[in-house]
């Protein structure tokens, strides 16, 4: 397994690795030294079956020293992390050549060059995407002509989508993608995905048939190769018995709150609001009057000089209303607590899965990448409510934040979102169903014409 250098990618890859290891298979999990050291500890029952292969990340110009994951760098520096990642091509090739009993390689969107290497070595390869099938369907397949060129063109479903849908990016989301000034030496994400899906033997997707059947069928149709849902891969952690002081104080605070009354706010490891956005979110929270826990990242890595700050006096004024945590926080434990009723989220797929496995209602505020597509899917299925924003600038107000939070958390109008979260919990938390998806993946790997039999 060779995931991209973001914890939102590495963690789902590790979840799949653990589920495959539970079936008795051996996995080589390839990443960098610092990243593997920061991954959750494995249960002793499967740790002998998962080997962490540590490839040192080459230093490239403009990439801060010791930066090995997206969480270590400002957003505009992620492109140089991709450049360094591409430099792993040679050491990865040597590792693959040295493996005598390798049955298959699962790779992420970023190493678009890996299918050619694997094919030359006679190793079957599968692109395993942590993005939804809906998000993948927005990327041009090899068989299609894509005449989209202007930002406005991307606010409509592409021509190869054969069914009516409102799932598409909004203009401000497209503009944020277009505004990325890529170094000419760095390959775009769209090209990486196009090449990866074109060159692979199979496409595995972090999704399930009951959630997005139309998109999974479309993917298979437009790419002409097997598309295998592997389940939603709800995050699990091996409980070592240690309890973090941060969690103890949060739990004491949550224990005193009414069931379902607290809104949890977090925007993942990559999304970082602007100062204007942060101010409106904070004042909106205050206006809502709702109790809250906010995990706030003021910096992305040690070289991020653009610090964002809460409005003056905010923490003092809201001391009785909420908690602000600017360090690591145990998201799974927070979401699992009965006092938490809703989640203000960036719509990252991992966060969505973690919220729905605990039946938490979703309030959506997108920032980058595939988050806009995820939000539209959730809106279309009445599983999430997006804070109203200006279509071009993405600007939103404190009033819209407050009103959206109250609607989803308390009002009759928002009951549909609370009920839908409860309705979807069995789908997102069903371990037996997840196990069946992994079995089906392994069956496909064994039976597919170009895939060798996996040895137990």
Question: For the segment 54-74, what is each residue's pLDDT rounded down to a tens digit?
Answer: 999 999 988 988 899 998 988
Asked if residue 343 lies in contact with residue 355, where contact means CB atoms within 8 angstroms, the answer is yes
454 in any annotated domain? no
Asked if residue 292 lies in contact with residue 321, where contact means CB atoms within 8 angstroms, the answer is yes
Mean pLDDT, rounded, for 83-97: 95
Query: In this structure, are 319 and 379 located in the same domain?
Result: yes
Query: In this structure, are 149 and 40 located in the same domain?
Result: yes
Domain count, the chain: 2
Query: In this structure, are 17 and 113 located in the same domain?
Result: yes
Nearest to 4 by CA among 129, 124, 121: 129
Query: In this structure, are 124 and 192 located in the same domain?
Result: yes
Query: In this structure, are 319 and 192 located in the same domain?
Result: no
> pLDDT, tens digit, for every residue of 133-181?
999 999 989 888 888 888 899 999 999 999 999 999 999 999 888 766 5
2 in any annotated domain? no
Distance of CA 446 to the CA centre of its chain: 28
Nearest to 294 by CA among 305, 306, 281: 281
In this prediction, residue 257 has a pLDDT band, given cuts at 50, 70 and 90, of very high
Whole-angstrom distance, CA of residue 271 vs CA of residue 346: 7
Query: In this structure, are 226 and 273 located in the same domain?
Result: no
Whole-angstrom distance, CA of residue 115 vs CA of residue 93: 11
pLDDT score recorded for residue 238:
67
Which are the contacts of 220, defined by CB distance < 8 A and separation ≥ 6?
Answer: 203, 226, 227
Whole-angstrom distance, CA of residue 124 vs CA of residue 118: 7
- Look-up of token digits 């039946």: 359
Domain that holds residue 35: 7-236+430-447
Query: In this structure, are 116 and 255 located in the same domain?
Result: no
pLDDT score recorded for residue 440:
93
Query: In this structure, are 316 and 423 located in the same domain?
Result: yes
Query: In this structure, are 121 and 194 located in the same domain?
Result: yes
Classify burial at 246, counting beta carbons within 10 Å of its beta carbon; exposed 0-12, middle 13-18, buried 19 or more: middle
In this prediction, residue 298 has a pLDDT band, given cuts at 50, 70 and 90, of confident
CA diameter of the chain = 64
283 in any annotated domain? yes
Q: CATH number for the domain including 213?
A: 3.40.50.2000
186 in any annotated domain? yes
26 in any annotated domain? yes
Q: What is the model's pTM?
A: 0.92
Tokens of 153: 């063109």
Query: In this structure, are 220 and 307 located in the same domain?
Result: no
pLDDT score recorded for residue 305:
65
1 in any annotated domain? no
21 in any annotated domain? yes
> pLDDT, tens digit, for every residue of 339-362?
999 999 999 999 999 999 999 999
Nearest to 44 by CA among 27, 16, 22: 22
> pLDDT, tens digit, for every residue of 315-335?
999 999 999 998 888 899 999
355 in any annotated domain? yes
Which are the contacts of 391, defined by CB distance < 8 A and separation ≥ 6?
Answer: 170, 171, 172
pLDDT score recorded for residue 452:
47
- Higher pLDDT among residues 285 and 307, named by residue: 285
Which are the contacts of 437, defined by CB distance < 8 A and separation ≥ 6?
Answer: 208, 229, 230, 231
> pLDDT, tens digit, for every residue of 379-394?
999 999 999 999 999 9
Q: DSSP readout, 376-388?
A: HHHHHTTS-EEPP
Asked if residue 315 lies in contact with residue 77, where contact means CB atoms within 8 angstroms, the answer is no
Query: In this structure, are 369 and 256 located in the same domain?
Result: yes
End-to-end Cα separation, the chain, in angstroms: 17
DSSP conformation class of 391? T
CA 400, 132, 267, 73 torsion: positive or negative?
A: negative
> pLDDT, tens digit, for every residue of 415-432?
999 999 999 999 999 999
Query: In this structure, are 423 and 406 located in the same domain?
Result: yes
> Does 434 have pLDDT greater than 70?
yes
């Amino acid at each position: 397994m060779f995931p991209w250098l973001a914890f939102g990618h590495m963690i789902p890859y590790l979840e799949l690795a653990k589920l495959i290891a539970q079936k008795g298979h051996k996995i080589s999990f390839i990443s960098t030294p610092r990243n593997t050291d920061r991954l959750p500890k494995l249960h002793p029952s499967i740790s002998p079956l998962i080997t962490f292969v540590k490839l040192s990340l080459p230093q490239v110009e403009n990439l801060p020293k010791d930066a090995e994951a997206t969480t270590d760098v400002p957003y505009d520096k992620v492109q140089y992390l991709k450049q360094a990642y591409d430099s792993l091509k040679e050491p990865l090739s040597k590792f693959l050549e040295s493996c005598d009993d390798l049955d298959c390689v699962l790779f992420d969107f970023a190493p678009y060059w890996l299918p050619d290497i694997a094919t030359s070595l006679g190793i079957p390869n599968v692109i395993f995407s942590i993005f939804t099938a809906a998000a993948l369907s927005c990327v041009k397949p090899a068989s299609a002509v894509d005449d989209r060129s202007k930002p406005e063109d991307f606010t409509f479903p592409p021509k190869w989508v054969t069914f009516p849908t409102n799932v598409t990016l909004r203009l401000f989301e497209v503009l944020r993608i277009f505004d990325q000034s890529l170094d000419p030496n760095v390959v775009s994400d769209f090209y990486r995905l196009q090449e990866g899906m074109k060159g692979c033997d199979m496409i595995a997707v972090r999704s399930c048939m009951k959630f997005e059947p139309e998109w999974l069928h479309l993917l298979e149709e437009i790419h002409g190769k097997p598309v295998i849902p592997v389940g939603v891969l709800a995050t699990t952690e091996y409980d070592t018995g240690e309890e973090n002081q941060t969690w103890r104080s949060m739990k004491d605070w949550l224990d005193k709150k009414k069931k379902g009354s607290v809104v949890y706010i977090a925007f993942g490891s990559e999304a970082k609001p602007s100062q204007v956005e942060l101010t409106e979110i904070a004042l909106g929270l205050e206006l809502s009057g709702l109790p809250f826990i906010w995990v706030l990242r003021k910096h992305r890595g040690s070289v991020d000089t653009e610090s964002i700050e809460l409005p003056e006096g905010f923490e003092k004024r809201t001391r009785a209303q909420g908690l602000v945590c600017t360090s690591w926080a145990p998201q799974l434990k927070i979401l699992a607590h009965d006092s938490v009723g809703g989640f203000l989220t960036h719509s990252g797929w991992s966060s969505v899965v973690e919220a729905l496995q605990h039946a938490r209602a979703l309030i959506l505020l997108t920032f980058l990448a595939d988050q806009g597509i995820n939000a539209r899917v959730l809106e279309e299925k009445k599983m999430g409510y997006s804070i109203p924003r200006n279509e071009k600038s993405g600007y939103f107000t404190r009033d819209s934040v407050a009103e959206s939070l109250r609607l989803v958390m308390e009002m009759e109008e928002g009951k549909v979102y609370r009920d839908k979260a409860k309705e979807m919990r069995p789908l997102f938390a069903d371990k037996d169903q997840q196990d069946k998806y992994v079995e089906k993946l392994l069956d496909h790997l064994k039976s597919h014409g170009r895939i060798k039999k996996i040895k137990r």
